[in-house]
Amino acid sequence: MEYRTPSDEPAYFSKQTSAAKRFYRPVERIARSVGTPFRVVAGGRESCSPGYRVERESFGFFAVEFVTSGLGSVTVGSESEELSAGTVFAYGPGIPHRIEQIGDEPLVKYFVNITGENAAYLLDGETGILGRIMHTARPHSILQSFEELVEHGLEDSPWSDRICAGLAEVLAYKITGSALTPGEPGTTAHGTYRRCRNLIGTRYLEFATLAEAASACAVDPAYLCRLFRRFDHQTPYRYLLRLKMNHAADILLESRLQVQEVAAEMGYADPLHFSRTFKSAIGVSPTRLIELSMG
């Protein structure tokens, strides 16, 4: 089975990256190996270079992108939003879009490009995510699906194309199922909520308590809770906790440190308390997450 090397990447892959882990496949080869109306042609993870900017009037495939860190802005069709951790957006043929990084912290994002006669129906008619900018309530779940997709996309296996197609389909349903209610764009309260959410989303490691996060946002903790109750599906504390535990999960999976070492790094003196908190946010214990990652 033929796979392309990084030096043989397609022209539409951005060169404005400081690091990237990407795969792609010629459409004609996938059509033969998958034999279905829905196919993944490319995917990966990109760490954007300073000044990153992509602007297109259209795109040859349907694309879904997911931001894991950094700040930026995105316009999809007539909709514009700030980019921060947890933002998901989808575009495709005939949909103008612009993606920009803001600030010095690298904008890190995952993407998947799909094609086939069923692609438009899946993203538009079935899940309704095409042409939209959303925030997910389950960023770690979305991250896990993207990681799996990239892992199988890079594999030289006769089943890789079928697995990637299945994972991309599941990913689309996960995104629409976890999308946060957009609230009331244009109101002062909604603007304050977005500002606070974005600040917490980029500086969550600095905050040990909700009061510290509220102080950094220059609002009262009770008011911050009211904003999240009005515009979100979770409390600000739960959002902060989930971000911190997602970060802890990344450390566990990437560094292979012991659970007690990660607990200490996250500011928990008691590893048992850390494990319970981790499981409440992620759904599995730190030990179980490591076991699952090892197959």
Q: Tell me, what's the pLDDT at 36?
A: 59
Q: Where in the chain is the domain with CATH 2.60.120.280?
A: 6-178
Q: Where in the chain is the domain with CATH 1.10.10.60?
A: 188-293
Q: Tell me, what's the pLDDT at 3?
A: 40
Q: Tell me, what's the pLDDT at 2?
A: 39
Domain made up of 6-178: CATH architecture = Sandwich (2.60)
Rg of the chain over all Cα atoms, to the nearest angstrom: 19
Q: Are 66 and 87 in contact (CB under 8 A)?
A: yes
The 8-class DSSP code of residue 162 comes to H
Residues of the chain scoring pLDDT < 70: 1-8, 27-37, 181-187, 233, 295
Q: Which CATH superfamily is domain 188-293 in?
A: Homeodomain-like (1.10.10.60)
Q: Tell me, what's the pLDDT at 181?
A: 59
CA dist., res. 245 & res. 85, Å (int): 14
pTM beyond 0.95: the answer is: no
Q: Tell me, what's the pLDDT at 288?
A: 87
Give the pLDDT confidence of 63-107 residue by residue, as tens digits.
Answer: 999 998 888 999 999 888 888 888 999 999 999 999 999 877 788
Beta bridge partners of 48: 17
Q: Tell me, what's the pLDDT at 28?
A: 59
